[in-house]
Amino acid sequence: MQCKEKMETYLHENQVPFQEQRHARTFSALTIAECEHISSKKTAKTVIIQIDGKMMCFVLPAAYYVDLDKVRAIMGTKDVRLAHEDEFELSFPDCELGTMPPFGNLYGIPVYVDTSLTAEDSMTFPVGTYTDTMSIQYADFDRLVHPHVAIFARSHVDM
């Protein structure tokens, strides 16, 4: 089963309404927001980080990036780095590289979400391809995933 079908099944089973969108092939969350004419604050991207040798999903708005110093402080460890694609591609076998949804729980990976995304009523995210996304209410995401909520994102303006 491909990621999109897995997500559709999971959301239906949990009675979560969702919308599906298609857009031109794109490789960044910011471009997804532009193509779909939605706020980059509501477009979620998933960044995989290695922490003490374990993979974790960090979910944040498209226009932000993960501040690794903040992650080190949150996790209380120095061994924090962005995972290499070849380290996580096998963990998401039903997704094209870099298009994993923010549902790490479906892949056995802990999920952290930045507080900036929790302020949004809805979120849009890739579902395993460079052309497909889904949108759901943030409250439904929170109910299904139970992510750890923390402040770890930074906008390029903060630099």
CA atoms within 13 A on the CB side of 47: 24
Q: What is the pLDDT confidence band of residue 147, given thresholds at 50, 70 and 90?
A: very high
Q: pLDDT tens digits for 31-49?
A: 778 777 888 889 999 999 9
Asked if 64 contacts 155 with a C-beta cutoff of 8 angstroms, the reply is yes
Mean pLDDT throughout 115-132? 94
Q: Identify the band that residue 159 occupies on the pLDDT scale cut at 50, 70 and 90.
A: very low
pTM of the model: 0.93
The pLDDT value recorded for residue 135 is: 96
pLDDT digits (tens, 9 = 90+) for 62-103: 999 999 999 999 999 999 999 999 999 889 999 998 899 999
Rounded Cα gap, residues 94 and 63, in angstroms: 26
CATH 2.30.110.10 fits 3-158, yes or no: no
Ordered by start, the domain boundaries in the chain are 3-158
Task: Give the span between the Cα atoms of 45 and 60, in whole angstroms.
Answer: 6
Q: Are 41 and 63 in contact (CB under 8 A)?
A: yes
